[in-house]
Amino acid sequence: MTILGLIIVLSTGALLIYATVDFPAWADPASPASLHLSPHFIERTMEETSVPNIVTAVLADYRGYDTMYETTVIFSAGVACFILLRILLREEPGESLYRHVLTGVTIRVKEGAKIPPSADFERIDTLWAPHDLIIKTMCRLLIPFIQLFALYVIAHGHHSPGGGFQGGVILGASIILLAISHDLRTSVQRMREKVDALLSATGVFIYAGTGALCLLLGLNFLDYSALASVLHVDPVTARSHGILIVEIGVGIAVMATMIWIYSNVSSTGKYDEGL
Amino acid sequence: MGDLIEIVVAKYNYWIYITLMMIGLYAMIVKNNLVKKIVGMNIFQTAIILYYVSTGAKRGATIPILEHGHDGHAHVIHAADYINPLPHVLMLTAIVVSVATLGVALALAIRIYHRYNTLEEDEILAQIREK
Amino acid sequence: MSQQYPALLVIVPLLSAFMISGAGWVNKRLCFPIAVAALGVAAYSCIGLLLRVLDEGVIVYKLGGWDPPVGIAYYVDHLNGLVLAVVSVVAFLNLIACKKSIEQEFPEKTGPFYTLYVLMVTGLLGIVVTGDAFNLYVLLEIAALTGYGLLAMGEERAPLAALNYLYMGTIGACFYLLGVGYLYIVTGSLNMVDIAHILPDLYQSKAVLAAFIICMVGVWLKMAFFPLHAWLPNAYTYAPSAASSLIAPLVTKVMIYVMIRLILTVFTPEFAFNVLAVSKPIVWLAVIAIVMGAILALAERNLKKMLTYVIVAEVGYMVGGAWLGNRAGMTGAILHIVNDALMTLCVFLVVGNIVYKLKGYAFEDLKGLVRKMPFTMGAFVIGALSIIGVPPTCGFFSKWYLISGAIQAGQYAFMVALLFSSLVNVVLFFRVIEICYYEPFSEDHGHGHDHHPEPMAEAPLTMLVPLFIVAAGLVLVGIYTGDIVNKIIEFAIPKGIV
């Protein structure tokens, strides 16, 4: 197997390197890639879409169709992880373990009996490990600021590097930080599984729905200038607003899917303890 | 000799990326452990992303975000002042696709581990043959 | 609304996939009706689009309102339209036929399963209709990821088989992406028609040669062309029957369409056949693929695995036919895309029915099946005759075109391989039919010499009616082959090919 792998890798590498003889030099301003399509994007973005960040304009408007499918890819990965790992029909274990917070005593409660919910008793698993107070408190303090920054990244995608994907991942990371610093049960309480799954479908639905709305208003799919009549602005500004709407949809979808994939993979579908 | 140095200086970035791609491909074909194959897949995809981004570079140009965006259109925009935005857009998509594939691959590896209790491919095949 | 058919045929399934995902959490019984409605609208749009193409010629649809090559555009011509119609109809019939088996195999996860199903169909339809090389990569990955999820839901060995499919499929898609990158760096464009305009000046460029080879190898990995087929038998055999009867007829054929699109539109036939001199070696590879597929199928004692090796041989037919370089061969390859999708759907639906009633598909489980499931076995006989190539079923006509193309191109080895494969298929299928017809169903109830005829335990009606439609379709498509070839395929192939 090693020899076969070496032969394949060396021959493929040789073919690829041989082909670079005909490439333009690195960072050549006169390469075909720089002369053919990109001057249109660089010079005409401001007048056609009024969005200064050319990458966002190309991503969400000129090639917005690709981006819609990219969001669908991440959504389908979330659904695939769910369908592969999630164990839905699980019997509750016969006995449950509780810990008295003040003294640290572990109480095993047999089937049938229950402890009334109160702050003195903490439900634990057989896999439970005590969490550090410092980590818990610091993360709890930081998470709102992380989320605020994520919203800034989404909203400022027009003027600075950023956009839906980047902001969505940061939002997802804030909830995953909650899961890592506390435990998975806490983050599932904050963002329930059903809400998470529905949000992830809703995010991509916003994107595709905006495009379908443009189709229903008479123009082609994902032609945001059709929104000019709905938003009461001129077509160029309508494109800028359309880009913002789809970026919000992308942000919601990416956030929800990141949390969904993390919850499924880290708890291998059982949603009990996590990492 | 000067010719050769010229070629190397002009193209060495492509050669580095191709070497990275081949390292990733080698790991995917040869390694026995399923997770090492997943890591090789990630290296392969990342090297392709680096290759694409390097096609958009331009000497002496800045990032493709227009400054002074909204106050007056007095500034004439020259295409040679900004790097090519298209490969960056394409690679945003490729990064997301690579993350999605990584997620599904890890989910499959977890399923396999639950069933066979090992991640080494030869041990799994031995267990299957015993059945 | 007919102006918007090119968009509708991907948008309606896409939006409904999200609705199905939501419905799966709220009210499970809504999932199936939404899916059927979505795929029905998609099939209607595809057929409507094909009829429009027959009237008007090539249809260009600009997404986002931007002119190509600045934006992404669809180019729908006769080749596209035909494959779109086939893919959407096959997916629709399969969905209806598989409802009961999905509910039997995973009752608590029907919502996500239908979501992945509809997303996979969206991905396949998008691959066929798009005119932009990078958009094709993204849609390829949608079809691939949903495929891995669907295929891994099967029995014990399914996750390992799906993981091996993931490795090889990702290498294939990354090779394709690398090829598009090589084309981009020397042409500067991603639009297929635009690349074809710029390329003739660059025929001697080594980068274009490398791009072609890398793209081809990537597409061959994804269509399971021998010797890159190792993932296919395991992945399709251990999958749930609803997933295998969706993926087996469609994914390899759509990848063959991608290969033909790359040959005909992006790298024009001038480059592929004349400038490069690789046609003969590739036809030889196809010959080996057909022979090995046939031999490996003979060695199997398991009905589903035998059928997957038949798929490997069929891929060899189509690759060889496309690379013969003449009009008859290309016609045979395109006609075989249509025929093979229908034939594979027919036999895999039969296997689905058998698994639904018997839970097993090794040869020992099939004894005396004719008395228990006569209608299913009747459809199986029609499917078998079509794979063997008996007139008037459609399989005969595509083989006829392939053989005449082989004779015209002087590739007699390919013709011999086709005939050899037909003979082997006769042995394979009649062996199965003999087990089902003639060997008595071994009953071990104690009264050994009291052979009551087994009561008919046929599959439910929702599984039988689509099967009959497909089996009838095999004969109808065969009878109407002349119309299909003269009105559609004739215009799909550029004038330059003789």
Nearest residue of C to residue A20, measured between CA atoms: C207
Residues near C79 by beta carbon (within 8 Å), at least 6 away in sequence = C257, C260, C261, C264, C334, C489, C492
Other CB atoms closer than 10 Å to residue A195's CB: what's the count? Answer: 13
Whether pLDDT at A49 is above 90: no
Closest-CA distance of chain C to residue B51, Å: 8
Whether pLDDT at A107 is above 70: yes
Residues of A in Cβ contact (< 8 Å) with B89: 55, 58-59, 63, 66
Q: What is the mean pLDDT of residues A47-69?
A: 91
For residues C411 and A96, the model is more confident at C411
Contact C181 B48 (CB under 8 A): yes
Segments making up each domain of chain B, as ranges:
2-58+83-130
Check CB contact of B77 with chain A, cutoff 8 Å: yes
Residue pairs spanning B and C at CB distance below 8 A: 62
Residues of C in Cβ contact (< 8 Å) with A78: none
pLDDT confidence bin for A102, thresholds 50/70/90: confident
Check CB contact of C163 with chain B, cutoff 8 Å: yes
Interatomic CA distance for residues A91 and C15, integer angstroms = 35
Residue in the block written with tokens 């009461």: A232
3-state secondary structure of C52: helix
pLDDT of residue B82: 87
The closest of C191, C188, C189 to C60, measured between CA atoms, is C191
| A91-116 burial: b if 16+ Cβ within 10 Å, else e | eeeeebebbeeeeeeeeeeeeeeeee
Residues of A in Cβ contact (< 8 Å) with B82: 42, 54
Nearest residue of C to residue A70, measured between CA atoms: C138
Beta bridge partners of B33: B120
pLDDT of residue A126: 59
CA C389 to chain centre: 18
**CB interface of B with A, residues 34-53, below 8 Å:** none
The closest of A234, A222, A233, A237 to A49, measured between CA atoms, is A237
pLDDT of residue A258: 95
Residues near C400 by beta carbon (within 8 Å), at least 6 away in sequence = C332
Residue among C61, C112, C178 minimizing CB distance to A82: C112
Closest-CA distance of chain C to residue B101, Å: 7
Contact B13 A46 (CB under 8 A): no
pLDDT of residue A84: 92
Percent of chain B with pLDDT over 90: 61
Residue C18 lies in a domain: no
Q: What are phi and psi of B71, to 5 degrees?
A: -90, 95
Residue among B51, B104, B115 minimizing CB distance to C156: B115
Interatomic CA distance for residues C277 and B64, integer angstroms = 43
Q: What would the pLDDT profile of B4-21 be if each residue is shown by its tens digit?
A: 888 888 888 899 999 999
pLDDT of residue A127: 61
Residue among B44, B51, B105 minimizing CB distance to C181: B51
Q: What is the mean pLDDT of residues A110-136?
A: 71
Q: Which domain holds residue C312?
A: 278-498
pLDDT of residue C448: 43
Helix A2-19, helix B2-30: angle, nearest 10: 150
Closest-CA distance of chain A to residue C390, Å: 41
Residue C312 lies in a domain: yes
Contact C171 B90 (CB under 8 A): no
Closest-CA distance of chain B to residue C187, Å: 12
ipTM, 2 decimals?
A: 0.94
Contact C187 A32 (CB under 8 A): yes
Interatomic CA distance for residues C243 and A183, integer angstroms = 36
Residue among C21, C138, C187 minimizing CB distance to A69: C138
Interatomic CA distance for residues C103 and C250, integer angstroms = 23
Residue among A13, A76, A159 minimizing CB distance to B18: A13
Other CB atoms closer than 10 Å to residue A47's CB: what's the count? Answer: 10
Nearest residue of A to residue B12, measured between CA atoms: A26
Contact B66 A46 (CB under 8 A): yes
Residue among A24, A73, A222 minimizing CB distance to C141: A73
CA C227 to chain centre: 19
Interatomic CA distance for residues C315 and C225, integer angstroms = 6
Interatomic CA distance for residues B55 and B46, integer angstroms = 15
Residue C373 lies in a domain: yes
Split into its structural domains, chain C has a count of 1
3-state secondary structure of A127: coil
Beta bridge partners of A123: A98
Interatomic CA distance for residues B50 and B39, integer angstroms = 17
Whether pLDDT at A114 is above 70: no
Nearest residue of A to residue C179, measured between CA atoms: A16
Nearest residue of C to residue B34, measured between CA atoms: C163
Across chain A, what does the average pLDDT equal? 86
Whether pLDDT at B79 is above 90: no
CA A197 to chain centre: 12
For residues A191 and B131, the model is more confident at A191
pLDDT of residue C450: 47
Interatomic CA distance for residues A29 and B9, integer angstroms = 16
**CB interface of A with B, residues 72-91, below 8 Å:** 73-74, 76-78, 80-81, 84-85
Residue pairs spanning A and C at CB distance below 8 A: 166
Contact B109 C149 (CB under 8 A): no
pLDDT of residue C81: 92
| Four-point Cα dihedral C77, C79, C81, C86, nearest 10 | 180
> CB–CB of C381/C391 below 8 Å?
no
Closest-CA distance of chain B to residue C297, Å: 20
Residue among C163, C171, C177 minimizing CB distance to B34: C163
Contact A26 B10 (CB under 8 A): yes
Residue C129 lies in a domain: no
Q: What is the mean pLDDT of residues A263-272?
A: 85
Residues of A in Cβ contact (< 8 Å) with B4: none
Residue among B22, B88, B110 minimizing CB distance to A268: B110
Residue C297 lies in a domain: yes
Closest-CA distance of chain A to residue C133, Å: 11
Nearest residue of A to residue C147, measured between CA atoms: A80
Residue in the block written with tokens 């959407």: C88
Fold entry, domain B2-58+83-130? Helix Hairpins (1.10.287)
In order along its 498 residues, chain C shows pLDDT tens digits of: 778 888 899 999 999 999 999 999 988 888 999 999 999 999 999 999 999 999 888 889 888 888 888 889 999 999 999 999 999 999 999 999 999 888 888 888 899 999 999 999 999 999 999 999 999 999 999 999 999 999 999 878 899 999 999 999 999 999 999 999 999 999 888 999 999 988 888 888 888 989 999 999 999 999 999 888 889 999 999 999 999 999 999 999 999 999 999 998 888 888 888 877 888 889 999 999 999 999 999 998 888 999 999 999 999 999 999 998 888 899 999 999 999 999 999 999 999 998 888 877 777 777 777 777 888 888 999 999 999 988 888 889 999 999 999 999 888 999 999 999 999 999 999 888 888 877 665 554 444 444 455 566 777 888 889 999 999 999 999 998 888 888 888 888 887 777
- Distances from the Cα of C13 to the Cα of A83, C4, C85, C315, C459, angstroms: 20, 14, 15, 28, 28
Q: Which of A21-30, A124-133, B19-28, B120-129 has the least mean pLDDT?
A: A124-133
Contact C185 A31 (CB under 8 A): yes
